[in-house]
Amino acid sequence: MKFRSHVKKLLNSLLKPFGHEIGSLLYSWKKSFRKLQTFTQSKLPEEAEQYLNPANPRLKELQERYALCSKNITAPSIWTDVHVSPHDITYFRGDNAYVWQLRGQNMTIAGYVLTAYYVKSIDTLSLLDTLPEDDYFGNITFRIDNTIMSRDLLDSIIEIYFLEKHLNISSLQSLRILDIGAGYGRLAHRMIQALSNIDTYLCTDAVAPSTFISEYYLRFRDLGEKAKVIPLDEIESTLETQHIDIAVNIHSFSECRIAAIEWWLSLLQKNRIRYLMIAPNSYNEGGALLQNEDGFDFQKIIEKHGYTLAAKEPKYRDPLVQKYAINPTYHYLFVLN
């Protein structure tokens, strides 16, 4: 052991002038991104910095309106007033409350590379060719196989293919989708770009800054009349007049209190929304758990409101990829009886 230690010290003394050491050369691919900035200081669109700030009157208006909503819906489990920082509002595509790009399971450069090549292997609709990526609003990107990629892009494509596999969404006419807990609107952006047959994509959220940001982001992406952001206090009346085919909930119910999940499921059942896709946060090698942050099992709530499990599968269909690719979870599809 002393000999090995001596050799390592000797080699490190030779490599140090070049900025390397034995440990970093052998294990750099396994290391996390902890020392990196949490967002890319990219150029913002004109007037974005002025608009995307906590003092914007539109954000203040939404916060006041949301404060009047039932506390059963808005009482935070995670999303307190300090959960979204001022930087998160301006650089909302960075590594923050909306998307963990540099933290979490397998969030290493090796994890990203593995995920990218997995997505290429399942990409029968050529979405990597039709969904371009950029670093707007702090997005952290990687150039892999000469293609700019991010967690936003990779996760969105995998989620689209889950729905394509089980519901053949690319062939459905006048598809109408409701996104509960839509965050900044990343999946709406990707799905509308990917699928010309989408008629309407409604984004809603119980967090006022999310509604504020997604309003701006979906306008910026110029998605026309297809993408609509519905404030929380308008969602019930909107669904009374708007037929929806599929509801999606990506990493949102996991961060809600049980009373809020109950309210959303009652709303889906009342409006006869047939399909519900869920991607939870909780994960272990035995599978993903439909639990919120308080440890309550909300699958029973889903079933209580008339939904039956139609499909459950790992985010990555290959077991080794599921073990080592970024942010593994399971995807669920429920159907209303």
Model pLDDT for residues 236-251, shown as the tens digit of each residue: 999 999 999 999 999 9
What average pLDDT is seen over the chain?
88
Please determine, for residue 208, whether its predicted confidence score (pLDDT) is greater than 50: yes
End-to-end CA distance of the chain: 66
79: tokens are 């999303």
Please determine, for residue 21, whether its predicted confidence score (pLDDT) is greater than 70: no
pLDDT band at 180 (very low <50, low <70, confident <90, very high): very high
C-alpha 304/C-alpha 116 separation (Å) is: 38
Please determine, for residue 30, whether its predicted confidence score (pLDDT) is greater than 60: no
Please determine, for residue 59, whether its predicted confidence score (pLDDT) is greater than 70: yes
Model pLDDT for residues 269-286, shown as the tens digit of each residue: 999 999 999 999 866 665
C-alpha 66/C-alpha 52 separation (Å) is: 19
pTM: 0.88
- pLDDT for 7 equals 42
Whose tokens are 């990526």? That residue is: 133
Average pLDDT over every residue of 302-329: 96
Please determine, for residue 186, whether its predicted confidence score (pLDDT) is greater than 90: yes
Please determine, for residue 26, whether its predicted confidence score (pLDDT) is greater than 60: no
Beta bridge partners of 105: none
How much of the chain exceeds pLDDT 70, in percent?
A: 86
- pLDDT for 119 equals 98
Model pLDDT for residues 78-87, shown as the tens digit of each residue: 767 777 777 8
pLDDT band at 31 (very low <50, low <70, confident <90, very high): low
Please determine, for residue 103, whether its predicted confidence score (pLDDT) is greater than 80: yes
- pLDDT for 11 equals 44
- pLDDT for 23 equals 53
- pLDDT for 88 equals 87
Buried b (16+ CB within 10 A) or exposed e, 253-281: bbbbbbebbbbbbebbbebebebbbbbbb
Model pLDDT for residues 256-271, shown as the tens digit of each residue: 999 999 999 999 999 9
Beta bridge partners of 333: 277, 311
Average pLDDT over every residue of 228-241: 98
